[in-house]
Structure 1
Amino acid sequence: MELSRKKRFDWKRIIGAFLFVTLIGSIVFIIIRMIMAPSEAAIEDNVKVKSDYVLMLLQCVLGIVVMMIPSIVEKKKSIDIPDTIEIIYFIFLYCAIYLGEVQDFYYLIPYWDSILHAFSGAVLGVLGIILVRFLNNQERVQIQLNPFFISFFAFCFSVAAGTIWEIYEFLADGLLSLNMQKFILVDGTQLIGRAALSDTMSDLVIDTLSALIICIIALPILKKR
């Protein structure tokens, strides 16, 4: 048992270190390219401008910050997050930030953004369940939630996290003139009306459905336990 746990811990450290080095290397690369990039480019040139690299830089810096959250929570709050969940979390950050933003998978791979939102909604649902089960096991917490309310909280937790992310994208687009909500197409066409809301609302719908599915699956499991 101890050897198996050590192997899982080593995998977590290796993947976490790989993600950290990748993001640091990407930051250095982005800063160099951002200095040389033009402020504006003709549509037919199809080259990245400074605002494109600002978005990449913001995402990479944010990625380094959020990848530290699980270890901080474990140390400060004494919550044991399963190593498997942390590994999945690191892989998600790699796919979303490095592959998605730096390597342009959001534009190169169809539905890449939707796949990641479905993935994140499910993982956040699991994290919500872990959080409530931890609180249920604390002697100082007087309230004990039954399986239904654990699943319901996990669902709300996942949807709320997805909503906060969309708010972050909206604010970043407005304050830094970015295109995180993809309201401007690759050819420079700016979407209006319902079309401009499509990316945000589809992300929220996917977050909600994936969280709902994972919580429905978890409910009978929690009842058995």
Structure 2
Amino acid sequence: MPKQVRRSLLFALPFQVVTIALALVLALIGFPIQVLLTVLLALTMWAPAAAELVFRTTLPRALQLHYLIFITLGPFAGSALNVYAMIPDWDTLIHFDSGVMLAWLGMLWVRRVEERVGTPLPSWFGLLVVQLTPMAFAAAWEICEYASDLIIGTNSQNGSLEDTMGDIMAGTLGGLFAIVLLVILRRPRTVAPASLVRAARRSGSAERTDAPH
């Protein structure tokens, strides 16, 4: 097994141990906890390592950490610990954050393509990929939430079309927010493709040139 894959497995291990232990303790106390869902979610925390193994690439730690936090605060806290039912706006915030995370994934994909072909892609194409990635995943996630509610008995969607569309819009806005962060702060550097970083620098230089002295 490649060294970076082993490191990613170990990187996810503390999150797995904490989520499973917390779920078991709360279940023993008497809280209505989805223990089976917690175990399944703990397994999904190995997704970055699996992606590195299958696609033979390295995922930046910033993206992996964001994913682990998202799983912990979103599906685990939201569904397994029923936080979605206790805090109505929690779901919207998580979907917004997922848009940021998935936009980072889109940036990384563009970056890897540029590294492979050896030349920057058009900035408009990179931005399109970055924004469409969270939009596509947001739609797919809603399908998974519906299946989870139907099969496992979670309460992710509250049976509401308004909730579903609101989640997709939140993910879309999260993607836009990630693009704004890239343009203004040029972060995260370990994920951002060269074409978009250069475009952001040109934009910043143009603004400084046009500013009154």
Query: What do you get for the CA RMSD once the two structures are aligned?
Result: 3.3
Instruction: Mark the CA change 1:112 to 1:15 in structure 2 (over 3 Å): closer, same or farther.
Output: farther
Q: Which residue is equivalent to 1:182?
A: 158
Instruction: Mark the CA change 1:150 to 1:182 in structure 2 (over 3 Å): closer, same or farther.
Output: same
**Equivalent-residue separation in structure 2 for 1:156 and 1:83 (angstroms):** 23
Q: Which residue is equivalent to 1:198?
A: 162
**Equivalent-residue separation in structure 1 for 2:148 and 2:175 (angstroms):** 25
Counterpart of 1:18 (choices 14, 20, 25) is 14
**Equivalent-residue separation in structure 2 for 1:150 and 1:59 (angstroms):** 36
Q: Which residue is equivalent to 1:212?
A: 176
Q: TM-score, normalised by structure 2?
A: 0.71
> 1:27, 1:61 within 8 Å by CA — same for their partners in 2?
no
TM alignment of 1:23-172, pairs within 5 A: 23-25=19-21, 28=24, 48=32, 56-139=34-117, 145-172=121-148
C-alpha displacement of 1:14: 7.2
Instruction: Mark the CA change 1:118 to 1:81 in structure 2 (over 3 Å): closer, same or farther.
Output: same
Instruction: Mark the CA change 1:199 to 1:150 in structure 2 (over 3 Å): closer, same or farther.
Output: same
Q: Which residue is equivalent to 1:5?
A: none
Aligned length: 184
Percent identity over paired residues: 24
> 1:30, 1:57 within 8 Å by CA — same for their partners in 2?
no
**Equivalent-residue separation in structure 2 for 1:116 and 1:93 (angstroms):** 9
Instruction: Mark the CA change 1:19 to 1:105 in structure 2 (over 3 Å): closer, same or farther.
Output: same
> 2:79, 2:154 within 8 Å by CA — same for their partners in 1?
no
C-alpha displacement of 1:202: 0.8
Deviations 1:109-150 (A, max 9, x none): 3511111111110111011111111022114x9x96312211
Residue ranges of structure 2 left out of the alignment (5+ in a row): 1-5, 184-195, 203-213
**Equivalent-residue separation in structure 1 for 2:83 and 2:198 (angstroms):** 37
**Equivalent-residue separation in structure 2 for 1:209 and 1:15 (angstroms):** 29
**Equivalent-residue separation in structure 2 for 1:222 and 1:110 (angstroms):** 40
